[in-house]
Amino acid sequence: MNPSLSTSPLATKGITMSVLLPLPLLSSYDYWVPFDMAVETGSYVEVPLGARAVTGVVWGMPTGDVGPEKLREISSVIDLPPMPEDLMRFVDWVAKYTLARRGSVLRMTMSVPKAFDPPKMFTAYRVANGIDIKNESLPGGLRLTAARRRVLSVLDGSRLRTAVQIAKAAGTSASVVRGLAAAAILQSITFEERTPIPQPDLELAGKHLTRAQQAVTERLLASLHGGYSVSLIDGVTGSGKTEVYFEAIAATLRAGKQVMVLLPEIALTADWLRRFEARFGVPPVVWHSGLSDAERRRNWRAVVQGDARLLVGARSALMLPFPELGLIVIDEEHDPSFKQEDGVIYNARDMAVARASIGNFSVILASATPSLETMDNVWRGRYRSLSLPARYAGAALPGIAAIDMRTETTHRQCWLSSGLAQMVDETLRNDEQTMLFLNRRGYAPLTVCRACGHQINCPQCTAWLVEHRLHERLECHHCGYFTSPPKTCPSCGVDGQFAACGPGVERLAEEVRNRFPEKKYAVMSSDTVQKPADVQALVRRMENREIDILIGTQIMAKGFHFPSLTLVGVIDADLGLAGGDLRAAERTYQLLHQVAGRAGRAEFPGRVFLQTFQPEHPVMQALVDGDRDKFLAAEAEARRQHQMPPYGRLAAVIVSGRNEIAVDEVANTLGRTAPSDVRISILGPAPAPMAIIRGRHRRRFLVRTPKDRNIQIVLRNWVFAVKPHGGVRVVIDIDPYSFI
């Protein structure tokens, strides 16, 4: 894009260009470019905004929204490569798709404000040319003292070192070094701080692939050179999907392009990084919420400057400004954690595909349980599917059976059926390990007063407080509120009559302790393992057989490989099926399949038992029969009938605020002005299932249009025309994953 020459009388000032700022703004602002300043589209620049200085990106032609006489000047250009044009187009695209403000999307690409500070400079020294350090008299009449001699001998050869390093090695002070430099006996060279990024070793060979893996790899590599394409590696857990995409990564790196791998944050474990390191000789550059500010700055700059060739990260890595991106890999592509639910609401998997399409490169999706959205794209021929149907090294897939809890006997306040308890016992006697899965943190999800039936709720949310005995408190899983367990019922005033209802993993652990007192168990949930190091420690204990029974929530479903784990028991397989979630069945299937995949990963065959009150449910049937494709076909048919995604477009509009009357007013205005088109279905306003979160009242609309309608235009014309008041917020969620 060419900057336009202004024809105003102020043209002597130069030209104007528009600059997009990383602030919640809809559009870019115009600025003058001083005559002596070289900027281009994509340049990072500092501009004045009110009394502030803000770093933004030159977005192109001036908008002309404001007369040239009112415009201010760009203050400076930041010394970084400009944002590539395809990334700018991607920012525009994401804003248009998600209906977020363009500036807010830009901010995601510039998420490290410190990254724009000029790099630290340092000065290094070497002996100047023509200086003979054996000569007793130095130029400039300087005497060769002992300290100076030591400095010169330390600098023997051509190595560059800083004054402090030299002084330390020579046993003197840095001022001696600087004195020699002042006399031109040492030559000083100034460098910019740029921590070297270890580069992947492309000579290293991968594992020797099986024939099936080899065939998939070849097809994958063939797709890498033809511009935009999406390939799905559809392979059972343990089939070597990772080994296969490693080869695609290596090929892309060899072609001189950058690679980004996206993983669910909890899958980004030390084990996984070690596998990476084993394949490429160096650890990858990483991007996740646990980085320090300094690491974020370093890694962001390494991406922009092209030093980071290979980056592995959680969802937010998607927006990093790679200049030479040639491949995005999304492992566990079905994982709901790729959906970001606050700020700019987007699905990183879907946006990654858009980024690749704009940048004209390839995407690889990998999963054992692909999402229906992805499968639909495969069925339509838009994505290529490559299948790995068997586990590596002949490890068998576990047998899965349902335990019908309608006919099983369990003891009061016990959650293990006698059938499952017997299996655990058998497994332990065989000297093998067991995993018990219950996707609920804490001790009990509900506390009631036996005297009056009062249930303890969060004061800020429509939710029960969950008892956590580990922390000795009641917690809200929605807003983080917590309190100590009360002794007296706030409703009837009776003392000590509280009863815990239902199990969480802590309560299950209590039962395990009572039933198998001589066995060692551990609980794995986000309460017991918080840092990657905690996960690592627990994994090691499991591998070293210091744990017989591992009890945990979904965080233990991901990726771990425990060779002696042969039994997986799912305590409440129906847990995810309740509620009005469009994807409840699909997600339950994916999660239980993944948990089941932990069993029997090595030579010992695995067994999986699902405790369920609905053994005839299609999810349980599909798991027991191992017939994923039948389940997907039935699920697809149900969605098609109801015109639900991926066969229709869906969006949620959430109206929220502290003042319930104002919330209802805004929601009702939206209800009155909703488009009346027979092909557009709008449900609402209705109180959200969680009618209050963090003290904010919530009303929801669910909007559905046929696939061929542009739902964004429908929403824009309708929702943006209503101006919320009274602190009410209206949020649009395109392709919603959360229905609370």
Residues of this chain that interact with Zn ion (CB under 5 A) are 458, 460-461, 476, 478-479, 481
**Which residue number, 81 or 480, has a Cβ lying nearer to Zn ion?**
480
**Which residue number, 121 or 205, has a Cβ lying nearer to ligand ADP?**
205
Q: Which two tokens stand for residue 298?
A: 């370093």
Residues 6+ apart with CB under 8 A from 577: 584, 585, 588, 614, 617, 619
Contact predicate 568/601, CB 8 Å: no
Residues of the shown chain interacting with ligand ADP in the complex, contacts defined by CB under 6 A: 207-210, 213, 235, 237-243, 392, 561
Choosing among Zn ion, ligand ADP, none, which partner's interface includes residue 476 (Cβ < 5 to 8 Å by kind)? Answer: Zn ion
Contact predicate 150/175, CB 8 Å: no
Q: Shortest Cβ distance from residue 243 to ligand ADP (Å)? A: 4
Residues 6+ apart with CB under 8 A from 313: 260, 261, 262, 263, 268, 286, 287, 288, 320
Buried b (16+ CB within 10 A) or exposed e, 613-646: ebbebbbbbbbbeeebeebbeebbeebeeebbbb
Q: Shortest Cβ distance from residue 242 to ligand ADP (Å)? A: 3
Choosing among Zn ion, ligand ADP, none, which partner's interface includes residue 479 (Cβ < 5 to 8 Å by kind)? Answer: Zn ion
Q: Which has the closest alpha carbon to 286: 243, 255, 316?
A: 316
**Which residue number, 234 or 735, has a Cβ lying nearer to ligand ADP?**
234
**Which residue number, 13 or 207, has a Cβ lying nearer to ligand ADP?**
207
Choosing among ligand ADP, Zn ion, none, which partner's interface includes residue 240 (Cβ < 5 to 8 Å by kind)? Answer: ligand ADP
Q: In which element (H, E) is residue 29 found?
A: strand 29-33
**Which residue number, 444 or 608, has a Cβ lying nearer to ligand ADP?**
608
Judged on CB neighbours under 10 Å (0-12, 13-18, 19+), 531 is exposed
Q: Shortest Cβ distance from residue 473 to Zn ion (Å)? A: 13
Q: Which has the closest alpha carbon to 351: 650, 92, 103, 644?
A: 92
Choosing among ligand ADP, Zn ion, none, which partner's interface includes residue 481 (Cβ < 5 to 8 Å by kind)? Answer: Zn ion
Q: Which has the closest alpha carbon to 501: 545, 444, 583?
A: 444
Q: Shortest Cβ distance from residue 238 to ligand ADP (Å)? A: 4
144: left (phi over 0), alpha (psi -120 to 50) or beta: beta
Contact predicate 239/391, CB 8 Å: yes
Choosing among ligand ADP, Zn ion, none, which partner's interface includes residue 392 (Cβ < 5 to 8 Å by kind)? Answer: ligand ADP
Choosing among ligand ADP, Zn ion, none, which partner's interface includes residue 461 (Cβ < 5 to 8 Å by kind)? Answer: Zn ion
Q: Shortest Cβ distance from residue 574 to Zn ion (Å)? A: 25
Choosing among Zn ion, ligand ADP, none, which partner's interface includes residue 242 (Cβ < 5 to 8 Å by kind)? Answer: ligand ADP
The span from the first CA to the last CA of the chain, in angstroms, equals 44
Question: Which amino acid makes up residue 174?
Answer: A
Q: Shortest Cβ distance from residue 629 to ligand ADP (Å)? A: 18
**Which residue number, 373 or 467, has a Cβ lying nearer to Zn ion?**
467
Choosing among Zn ion, ligand ADP, none, which partner's interface includes residue 458 (Cβ < 5 to 8 Å by kind)? Answer: Zn ion
**Which residue number, 384 or 478, has a Cβ lying nearer to Zn ion?**
478
Choosing among ligand ADP, Zn ion, none, which partner's interface includes residue 238 (Cβ < 5 to 8 Å by kind)? Answer: ligand ADP
In angstroms, how far is CA 126 from the centroid of its own chain?
A: 46
d(CA 303, CA 258): 9
**Which residue number, 102 or 241, has a Cβ lying nearer to ligand ADP?**
241
Q: Which has the closest alpha carbon to 388: 236, 181, 579?
A: 236
**Which residue number, 126 or 477, has a Cβ lying nearer to Zn ion?**
477
d(CA 295, CA 165): 24
Pairing status of strand 498-501 against strand 446-449: antiparallel
427: left (phi over 0), alpha (psi -120 to 50) or beta: alpha
**Which residue number, 42 or 235, has a Cβ lying nearer to ligand ADP?**
235
Q: Shortest Cβ distance from residue 526 to ligand ADP (Å)? A: 23
Could you tell me which residues are beta bridge partners of residue 73? Answer: 32
Choosing among Zn ion, ligand ADP, none, which partner's interface includes residue 213 (Cβ < 5 to 8 Å by kind)? Answer: ligand ADP
**Which residue number, 41 or 242, has a Cβ lying nearer to ligand ADP?**
242
Q: Shortest Cβ distance from residue 461 to Zn ion (Å)? A: 3
Q: Shortest Cβ distance from residue 210 to ligand ADP (Å)? A: 5
Choosing among ligand ADP, Zn ion, none, which partner's interface includes residue 561 (Cβ < 5 to 8 Å by kind)? Answer: ligand ADP
Other beta carbons within 10 angstroms of residue 167's beta carbon come to 21
Q: Shortest Cβ distance from residue 229 to ligand ADP (Å)? A: 21
Q: Shortest Cβ distance from residue 156 to ligand ADP (Å)? A: 48
Residues 6+ apart with CB under 8 A from 626: 397, 400
